[in-house]
Amino acid sequence: MVEQDYYELLGVQRGADDAAIKAAYRRLAKEHHPDRHNGCTDQEARFKAINEAYDILKDPQKRAAYDRFGKAAFQNGGGGGDPFGEAGFNGFSDIFSTIFGDFMDPRAQQNAARGADLRYDLELSREDAFTGVEKVITVQAMARCDRGHGGGCLRTDNCATTCKTCSGMGKVRAQQGFFVVERGCPTCRGSGEVISDPCPNCHGEGRALTQRKLSVKVPAGVDEGTRIRVAGEGEAGVRGAASGDLYLFVHMKRHPIYAREGTTLIADCPVSFTAAALGGGISLPGIDGNTIELKIPAGIQSGEQLRHRGAGMSVLNGRGRGDLVARILVETPTRMSAKQKKLLEEFRATETGEECPASKSFFARARNYFAG
């Protein structure tokens, strides 16, 4: 099947601007909309093709890729453009690194066969993030093939010959209508070489899917969303080309005591009303394993904060620590014995209103509200 050029499909010039492309698309989409043609399959296919063309040409990045490589740029899922778009553990697809690599990724400028970057999601406890930690992770990715002679060759250390399809250019040109379209060479997949005596393990690619264990160092102070680049631990390159990088994406487990804002650890501490009124103390488990004693001054109010300097999280790539903050929530008793109730009744009988000045002044204002 001959694939039709996207520009030709929309009936616009190659250099057409966005407005012209949009206008052409609107006109054609209306004309070929399946609703107007009673489910005629030819029209439906055309409608689909028009949508596909517009989808590429409206996006400057995709359009640039298409202009350069034709539809080959979007096969095998290579059109994404966002290396970290999907959760989990992904490599860029082959076609992405070989076809897109040399202009989408500045580091790959010299080498289109560079391996893809990889993402690994790493979940850490607050304690691990505080001290920094070394973790062993399992990575399943393309790694250098150690069978044969390396470089993908079985019997000799180099059996690469110039690709006849593209004469080593890695690209082929095809006449499509009035236009010459350039695309990645289908024979050598853009490398410009073919392997005459390929290793059966890696099929001449010099790399194969492998599961390996890797020890990674996580520095102290990381937080949700921190990215750590592990240079050269991504996917292996094609036939000995440079490897990509591995990116660790840090995720934090919930902590039973502390919320975190940057380097500050925050604990909501309910304290009894007697401790709030008479003063007292609380102890909290420090993130470093030490116990932190905090003095509660008599008369503390709900919402007040006690700050313990230097007992918070470690600073990423820096020195020192943040603070620990205890947010006080005064708890009203809900279960009292008859004796306790009696004591409180006796206390109430002695109240003058001066014990709680904020309450007194608020209700004085409320009483006078209508009096103006």
Task: Name the site residues for Zn ion (rule: CB under 5 A).
Answer: 145, 147-148, 163, 165-166, 185, 187-188, 199, 201-202
Strand 246-252 to strand 118-124: parallel, antiparallel, or no bridges (unpaired)?
parallel
In three-state secondary structure terms, 324 is strand
Quote the least distance from Cβ 145 to Zn ion, whole Å: 3
Closer Cβ to Zn ion, 93 or 165, answer by number: 165
Closer Cβ to Zn ion, 98 or 314, answer by number: 98
Instruction: Return d(Cα 68, Cα 343) in angstroms, integer.
Output: 86
Instruction: Return d(Cα 34, Cα 49) in angstroms, integer.
Output: 12
8 A C-beta contact, residue 138 and residue 213: yes
Closer Cβ to Zn ion, 98 or 226, answer by number: 98
Closer Cβ to Zn ion, 104 or 208, answer by number: 208
Query: Which residue type does 273 have?
Result: F
Quote the least distance from Cβ 209 to Zn ion, whole Å: 12
Closer Cβ to Zn ion, 184 or 312, answer by number: 184
Instruction: Extract the tokens encoding 261.
Output: 């804002």
In three-state secondary structure terms, 145 is coil
Closer Cβ to Zn ion, 96 or 130, answer by number: 96
Quote the least distance from Cβ 265 to Zn ion, whole Å: 51
Closer Cβ to Zn ion, 108 or 202, answer by number: 202
Quote the least distance from Cβ 200 to Zn ion, whole Å: 8
Quote the least distance from Cβ 68 to Zn ion, whole Å: 16
Instruction: Extract the tokens encoding 316.
Output: 């990423």
Residue 194 CB neighbour total at 10 angstroms: 20
DSSP 205-242: SSEEEEEEEEEEEE-TT--TT-EEEETT-SPPPGGGPP
Quote the least distance from Cβ 175 to Zn ion, whole Å: 18
8 A C-beta contact, residue 162 and residue 193: yes
Quote the least distance from Cβ 127 to Zn ion, whole Å: 43
- In the chain, DSSP assigns E strands to 118-124, 133-144, 160-162, 171-176, 179-184, 193-195, 207-218, 227-230, 246-252, 259-261, 264-272, 280-285, 291-296, 305-308, 324-331
